[in-house]
Structure 1
Amino acid sequence: MSDAAQAIFLSWSPPPWLTLSVALTAIVYLRGWLEIGKTRPQQFDLLRLASFYSGLAVLWLAIASPMDGFADVLLSAHMIEHLLLMSVVPPLLLYGLPVVPLLRGLPVVLRRNLIGPLLRLTFLRRFLHWLTRPVVAWFAMNISFLAWHIPSAYNFALEHENWHAVEHICFLGTSILFWWCIIRPWPSEAKRLNWGILLYLVSADVVNTILSAFLSFCDRPVYSFYLTHPNPFQVEPLEDQVLGAVIMWVLGSLAFLLPAVILALHLVRGDRSNRA
């Protein structure tokens, strides 16, 4: 292990509030999963539990482990962190069908006196339905993605830890909305998939590709933070930028295009069965 990597590991300590939040979420989900599993054992099997817990583990790994220290000094590591938050964590969490287990796992007093009355508010229900409309979710994720990669915003987030946390919340929250429209976890209203879902995924990949290509082929470092702060790994900022862009381009595109291919095959089979 290099001295720089060793220094990052030695200076790392688990953030208490985030670690506690992840642990409490895991406990609440497990409590609700066990409860609802009594009546819906096939729907809430071990695979759902493993998926949700994997999502929490990857979330913690991305922003609470020593990886976050590497992301502070290497753009390429920062891009991996963003990919995990936007393309790995949300599908894993949503496949765990988290809505009902998280509600059922809360203390009864909290459900009856706070959560229940809130969820019965008409304006809140309408707002949540609006947020999960595909057009809204698509624009929310892609605008957040592009806005935080504007050089001034990107540099500002790295310079200010609290705003860096806001950036992560934006990426995670809007990406959950984006993937919600594809997975639609129960008890969300199931909608029959159509060919528009491919446009939804491919157009998001186009946005990712445009930004990745710009960073790849730009002949200068875009983010001044990496010029004004020492790099303990002695990596040239432009080389690091190209590596980060390639990671975002290749892995980010796979995150959109693989589901698109799978869904296209599913739709083709459906069309054939309808014609038979």
Structure 2
Amino acid sequence: MTGSDAVPFCGLPPLPGDWAWNLDPLLLAILAGGLALGWRAGGNRPLFLAGWALLALALVSPLCSLAVALFSVRVGQHLILMLVAAPLLAMGLRPRTAAPAELAGSAAVFAVILWFWHLPAPYAWTFVSDGAWWAMHASLFASAVWLWHGAMRASRADAALLSGLATAAQMGALGAFLTFAPRPLFAPHALSTLPWGLTPLEDQQLGGLLMWVPGGTAFAALALFALSRALGAMPDRLKT
């Protein structure tokens, strides 16, 4: 669906107490098909199932509807995809060692996709085009899985450390940009936040804080994990 009068994929902005589950047949079919393919591919099936279940919950639960009304909820939905579902799914995939060049590429791709979809024009596009909505969520999730899988399976701990620090820094920068912007940036939420007791600017600031703190913390933790791997691989004589 496209056009200025298009209804967003998750429906019109709900009022308090008036949200609903998203049982779109195409979405349910894709989720079921992806689950079947991932299950047949092997790997750690319990972790894969946990990651896929969280992905499905984030997209079909009332979060989808609430994200039409509130930018902060859309950010929270994305964080569930990128920081919880993606690493679980990455650990559930068959292990494959990632070279430093691949890890650097995945971190760069993730950063570009994250910034692109949280800039005003591309973000607004997802409210008038179902294709843009699908592209946003598919690209954010896929790039996050690629990054997490590479960072946790990196052939060199220093590459994982650098990718974690760089990703924490760029997510923190995006969160700070959204938090300290002097005016609201996202036209789709110009009127939809008021029934929820937030001005558009307050809603944007809350979303920025969510991106800044949990997002930056998760990838900083990944960097610390990589650092512990690097220290653990050092000869005993270098640790003292």
- TM-score normalised by the chain length of structure 2: 0.83
Structure 1 residues 221 and 57: alpha-carbon distance in aligned structure 2, compared to 1, 3 A threshold: same
> What's the counterpart of residue 170 of structure 2?
207
Runs of 4+ in 1 over 3 A off after TM superposition: 27-33, 228-232, 272-276
Task: Determine the C-alpha separation between the residues in 2 that align with 1:146 and 1:32.
Answer: 32
Q: Does 1:22 align with 2:19?
A: no
**What's the offset of the Cα at 1:98?**
4.7
CA separation in 2, counterparts of 1:89 and 1:13?
18
Q: Which amino acid in 1 is paired with 2:225?
A: I
Shift of 1:28: 4.1
| % identity of equivalent residues | 25
Change (3 A) 1:32 1:192: closer
Q: Distance in 2 between matches of 1:160 and 1:201?
A: 33
Paired position in structure 1 for 2:136 = 167
Query: 1:74–1:231: 8 Å Cα contact kept in structure 2?
Result: no
- Kept in 1, the 8 Å contact 2:22–2:59? The answer is no
Using structure 1 for the length normalisation, give the TM-score.
0.73
What is the deviation of 1:257?
0.9
Secondary structure at the aligned position of 1:4 is classed as coil
Residue aligned with 1:222, SS? coil
* Aligned-pair CA distance for 1:75: 0.7
CA apart distance, 1:209: 1.1
Given candidates 220, 227, 240, the residue that maps to 1:257 is 220
CA distance in 2 between partners of 1:170 and 1:274 (Å): 45
1:66 aligns with 2:62: yes
Distance across 2 between alignment mates of 1:29 and 1:168: 18
Q: Which amino acid aligns with 2:232?
A: R
Distance 1:217 1:19 in 2: 38
Match of residue 18 from structure 2: 7
- Which residue, out of 194, 198, 209, partners 2:161? 198
| 8 Å CA contact 1:29, 1:98 repeated in 2 | no
Q: Which runs of 5+ in 1 are unaligned?
A: 34-43, 101-128, 185-190
- In 1, are the aligned partners of 2:193 and 2:199 still within 8 Å (CA)? no
Gaps of 5+ in 2: 1-13
Cα offset for 1:49?
2.0
SS in 2 for 1:219: coil
Distance 1:226 1:150, change over 3 A: same
Report the counterpart of residue 76 of structure 2 in structure 1. 80
Question: CA–CA distance in 2 between the matches of 1:183 and 1:230?
Answer: 38
Please give the per-residue CA displacement for 1:29-53, whole angstroms capped at 9, x wherever unaligned.
44554xxxxxxxxxx5xxx222111
The equivalent residue for 1:269 is 232
Alpha-carbon RMSD: 2.5
Q: 1-side partners of 2:186 and 2:30: how far apart?
A: 32
Q: Summarize the alignment of residues 133-212 of structure 1 with structure 2, pairs less than 5 Å apart.
A: 133-184=102-153, 192-212=155-175
> Which one has the bigger helix percentage?
1
The structure having more radius of gyration, on CA atoms, is: 1
